[in-house]
A and B are shown apart, each in its own frame.
Chain A
Amino acid sequence: AQTVTQSQPEMSVQEAETVTLSCTYDTSENNYYLFWYKQPPSRQMILVIRQEAYKQQNATENRFSVNFQKAAKSFSLKISDSQLGDTAMYFCAFMKHSNNDMRFGAGTRLTVKP
């Protein structure tokens, strides 16, 4: 079974600073997808960024980027120029290419301080 580990239950960052959230996963699969989702207090889950395992280039979406280390099974999220609206729970997720079972980590609660 695939497991996703987020080792940082809570983190905080000053507005405009950069923060990195950690995620590691365990799998014997070679083809899979990785995701970061954001869940603000409204409870609405929002996709932040995604990565296909076969792509070596790290995904980037505006202020959000990932550091995907396939050999180390690591998929960290970097948020640059943090904004107050980035305050939320962030979930790392893994999905095998062969089926649709999405596994989520326990989440990291990020607080951006003014």
Chain B
Amino acid sequence: GAGVSQSPSNKVTEKGKDVELRCDPISGHTALYWYRQSLGQGLEFLIYFQGNSAPDKSGLPSDRFSAERTGGSVSTLTIQRTQQEDSAVYLCASGAGAGYNEQFFGPGTRLTVL
């Protein structure tokens, strides 16, 4: 596809379970971001990948959150031992590079932790 895709679009899980959220960036984009958007809130930066550089993990809220980017393309955000406060929309964005370049967002994954 031409845009950023994310799967699943919706995920309902039970407290304490692990979840994996997937992001397929635009082909050729070296930058990939993950954000969290809680209900009625702005976007909270989670993690940033740029090429082969070490990711910027400064936004991850706890050690239950981790992310990988394989082969400089697909990324997976993993949340272990989910809590109810993890319920949010998780957005992925990709870009051709850092800074001024536009970030193209995916449609997001709505995570609900019961």
Contacts and interface: CB of A to CB of B under 8 A. Distances in A.
A101 B48 contact: yes
Interface in A29-55: 33, 42-47, 50, 52
Given A33-B99, A33-B100, A45-B93, A101 B45 contact: yes
The dominant DSSP class at the B interface is: strand
Given A33-B99, A33-B100, A52-B100, A102 B42 contact: no
Interface residues of B, number: 24
Given A45-B93, A101-B58, A91 B100 contact: no
Contacts of A105: 42
B56 interface: yes
Given A52-B100, A91-B42, A42 B31 contact: no
Interface size class of A (residues with CB under 8 A): 20 to 34
A49 B83 CA distance: 36
A28 interface: no
Contacts of A50: 100, 102
B50 interface: yes
B103 interface: yes
Contact of B99 (A42, A45, A100): A100
B65 interface: no
Interface string B10-39: 000000000000000000000101010000
Nearest to B59: A101
A19 interface: no
B79 interface: no
12 contacts: A44-B105, A44-B107, A45-B91, A46-B105, A47-B103, A50-B102, A91-B42, A91-B43, A100-B98, A104-B42, A104-B45, A105-B42
The 8 closest A-B pairs by CB, nearest first: A45-B105, A104-B42, A104-B43, A106-B42, A100-B98, A100-B48, A47-B102, A43-B108
